[in-house]
Amino acid sequence: MEKTYYHSQKSASFVGRHARKKSDFATSPKTSDVSSAIDIYGDTAWRETVENVDDHNADEISLLIDQFATTLSSIDNKSDPPEVPNYVETFSKIIESKIVKYYSADGENKFGKTEEEDSFFLESVLRVGKLTTAFGDFPAGCNAAPSLDRVSVVLQRAMAFLEEEFRDLLEGSRDLKEEESGRSVLHEPERDKGGEQEFPGYSAEAVARMGRVATAMVASGYATECCQVYSVARRNAFTEALRCTEFDTVPIEEIQKMQREQLEGDISKWINTVKRCATVLFPCERSLCDAVFSQNETISAGLFSNLAQAVIIQLLNFVDAVVLTQQSAEKLFKYLDMYEALRDLILSIDRTCADEESSGELRSELTAARDRIGEAAVYLFFDLENSIKGDASKTPVPGGAIHPLTRYVMNYLEYAGVYKDTLEQIFQTNHILAQSLSSTKSDKSNDREIKNQNPNKPALQFSIQFITAVELLDENLNAKSRLYRDPSLRYIFLMNNGRYILQKIKGSTEILQLVGDTWYRMRSTVVRQYHKNYQRETWGRLLQCIGHDGCQVNGKVYKPVVKEKFKNFNLMFEEIHKTQSTWVVNDSQLQSELRVSISGVVIPAYRSFLGRFRQYLESGKQAEKYIKYQSEDIELMIEGLFDGNPNSMGRRRT
């Protein structure tokens, strides 16, 4: 409804429309002059005197005006101006008649319909501007003063007209284009059928007209009014664009009270908005500025800088609020997303503004905000290290399975590996802060380890922190392993968790690059040692039961010792199987490796003992009393280990 009212004003006087629009701007001296000039234009009788002025010789008069302006400028004695010819008044009326004719009785705007007419009008406005400047060199009260007043009024009317047209092009053309095409100012520029680039919400033709109007206004000394109209229109458009991204400016106090889920949602909207600004809105806005003010690069740079700064201030206020919220390690990845978004926005500003001085302040503010986020990210990463050191739970995980802390830390570090380049940049920038926060001596040793892998390459700061976090986890797991009374179960626990850590590292290209092959092989050796220690603690003691020592006395088999060894073997094996069937090895490959290695040690030894001494036991029930298992039975029962099932005793072969 409001838009219908706005366009209906076209049929009324230009004065009413202009007065309504002028309330949007701060009034400058020139704007006040323009307003008073427009009041004269509202005079119907005067309008009729200029509406039908004969302009058939307009080109000839234009040349005469150029010559007269040159003559005025070349006069040395400014106190004695020449007589003003009649064609100056005629030229003034021709321009005023053009303004009147641009608006027909049906309210249709004729400006922009005929390129030849528009070009003549704009060139005429520039001539009036030159003529006004030339008259202005003469003192007040001279015989040229009335002519100066006359051309000044004409220029003011022309500027008021162009100002309104400029506003219409910025607001009306965009609204109309969006209605017709269904596109929004948020859309990337498209290309028309002729291959020329379109601008956000505007056709190439509309932008070209804006450029011609802007050039005329600036050249005529009305740059302030021109820039005001442009700034207000584009800032409104940008506000609309930001609103469409669903990012809202929220007071710091409310952000600090937000629950985690709501805050993360707002951060995601903020990130999308910043990315939108970096990839679409700012580049397109700068292209529009440069196209409209192609003859005035300084004005273009200043307008874009002012607009971008107003938007960036809103975005950075959010950053300041977020870094003041309560910190937790889980927020790290949202912070890293924010850091990357700001980093990309800085690159976009650098590309958009090139080496312009106006970009310096924008870049400085963005860089400072990015660094605040980076510093907060360092604190968050150290929160992870502190949480590892602070996890002092005294309840052992049943069956020696993977500890929840191991899963949490390695999943966290795996995700951090995706951001390894960003985190490296952050830790390089904040290496002094990182050193002050580190309370472990392992950082320096890790630094040396990484340098030893490649002496010619400086140690990556994030690699050091990553390895430190894994080693802190390792120290914590070693402490937790002592909660198990059974030494064998301790090694199962360490093996499970160590293998999980290795899998996470090997499964991520980014993490493997961080730690390096040398460090990974070192960790693999440690896990293999857990395996050996477990095998020695469990199966080494079992094999002692069937050792051949003491089985012969004076060259003869001593049956009581043989019987005792079979009896002890059976009891110990059954106890091991009963216990270790409830233990858990989550990784199927590790489970298979353990079973194979156990069988490879136990089966040959048992088969040898059985083959050597079974003949010395009496046959029948007495033999079965001591020889309860065949080699195949032992192998089958070993297959039931480490699956967490206490009933997996297997079936004896008969």
Residue 470 has pLDDT above 50, yes or no: yes
Residue 377 has pLDDT above 70, yes or no: yes
- H-only helix segments in 29-140: 29-41, 44-51, 58-74, 86-101, 115-135
The reply to whether 51 and 124 lie within a common domain is yes
Q: Is residue 191 part of a domain?
A: no
> Looking at residue 146, what is its pLDDT?
72
> Looking at residue 438, what is its pLDDT?
76
* CB-neighbour burial class of residue 439 (10 A; exposed 0-12, middle 13-18, buried 19+): exposed
C-beta atoms surrounding 34 within 10 Å: 24
- What percent of the chain has a predicted confidence (pLDDT) above 90? 41
Q: Whole-angstrom Cα distance, residue 307 to residue 344?
A: 18
Q: Is residue 240 part of a domain?
A: no
Residue 71 has pLDDT above 70, yes or no: yes
Q: pTM for this one?
A: 0.78
> Looking at residue 6, what is its pLDDT?
28
> Looking at residue 181, what is its pLDDT?
44
The reply to whether 367 and 253 lie within a common domain is yes
Domain that holds residue 526: 391-537
Q: Is residue 203 part of a domain?
A: yes
* Tokens (6 digits) for 27: 């009034």
CATH of the domain at 623: 1.20.1280.170
Range in 22-31, 32-41, 272-281, 454-463 with the lowest mean pLDDT: 22-31
Q: Whole-angstrom Cα distance, residue 230 to residue 611?
A: 100
Q: Is residue 366 part of a domain?
A: yes
The reply to whether 417 and 322 lie within a common domain is no
* Tokens (6 digits) for 153: 């009024």
Q: Is residue 645 part of a domain?
A: no
State mean pLDDT over 482-487: 94
Residue 139 has pLDDT above 90, yes or no: no
Q: Whole-angstrom Cα distance, residue 132 to residue 150?
A: 9
pLDDT digits (tens, 9 = 90+) for 13-28: 333 333 333 333 233 3
The reply to whether 352 and 280 lie within a common domain is yes
The reply to whether 206 and 76 lie within a common domain is yes
The reply to whether 613 and 570 lie within a common domain is yes
Residue 46 has pLDDT above 90, yes or no: no
Range in 7-21, 408-422, 597-611 with the lowest mean pLDDT: 7-21
> Looking at residue 449, what is its pLDDT?
52
DSSP-derived 3-state class of residue 647: coil
Instruction: For 192, list phi and psi in degrees, rounded to 5.
Output: -80, 180
Query: Helix and strand tally (H, E) in the chain?
Result: 29, 2
Residue 122 has pLDDT above 50, yes or no: yes
Q: Which residues contact 323 (CB under 8 A, 6 or more apart)?
A: 372, 373, 376
State mean pLDDT over 614-630: 78
Closest CA to 404 of 564, 586, 575: 586
Q: Whole-angstrom Cα distance, residue 110 to residue 52?
A: 16
Q: Is residue 405 part of a domain?
A: yes
Q: Whole-angstrom Cα distance, residue 585 to residue 7?
A: 78
Q: Look at residues 317, 344, 373 and tell me which one is the last residue of a structural domain.
A: 373
* CB-neighbour burial class of residue 195 (10 A; exposed 0-12, middle 13-18, buried 19+): exposed
Q: Specify the higher pLDDT residue, 514 or 97.
A: 514
Range in 52-61, 445-454, 473-482 with the lowest mean pLDDT: 445-454
Q: Is residue 398 part of a domain?
A: yes
Q: Whole-angstrom Cα distance, residue 541 to residue 476?
A: 29
The reply to whether 406 and 503 lie within a common domain is yes
Q: Look at residues 504, 520, 537 and tell me which one is the last residue of a structural domain.
A: 537
The reply to whether 74 and 116 lie within a common domain is yes
Q: Whole-angstrom Cα distance, residue 512 to residue 50?
A: 83
Q: Which residues of 223-238 are buried (b: 16+ CB within 10 A; e: fewer)?
A: ebbbbbbbbbbbeebb
- What percent of the chain has a predicted confidence (pLDDT) above 70? 77
Q: Whole-angstrom Cα distance, residue 603 to residue 625?
A: 20
The reply to whether 551 and 529 lie within a common domain is no
DSSP-derived 3-state class of residue 547: coil
> Looking at residue 591, what is its pLDDT?
92
State mean pLDDT over 579-592: 91
> Looking at residue 397, what is its pLDDT?
94
Looking at residue 519, its amino acid is: W
Q: Is residue 378 part of a domain?
A: no
> Looking at residue 369, what is its pLDDT?
94
The reply to whether 395 and 365 lie within a common domain is no
The reply to whether 369 and 395 lie within a common domain is no
Residue 624 has pLDDT above 80, yes or no: no
The total domain count for the chain is 4
State mean pLDDT over 44-57: 59
Mean pLDDT of the chain: 80
> Looking at residue 48, what is its pLDDT?
57
Q: Look at residues 373, 402, 419 and tell me which one is the last residue of a structural domain.
A: 373
Residue 426's pLDDT band (boundaries 50, 70, 90)?
very high
Radius of gyration of the chain (CA): 43
Residue 654 has pLDDT above 50, yes or no: no
State mean pLDDT over 443-457: 49
> Looking at residue 328, what is its pLDDT?
85
Closest CA to 282 of 335, 233, 347, 336: 347
State mean pLDDT over 279-302: 91
The reply to whether 558 and 532 lie within a common domain is no
Q: Whole-angstrom Cα distance, residue 121 to residue 95?
A: 7
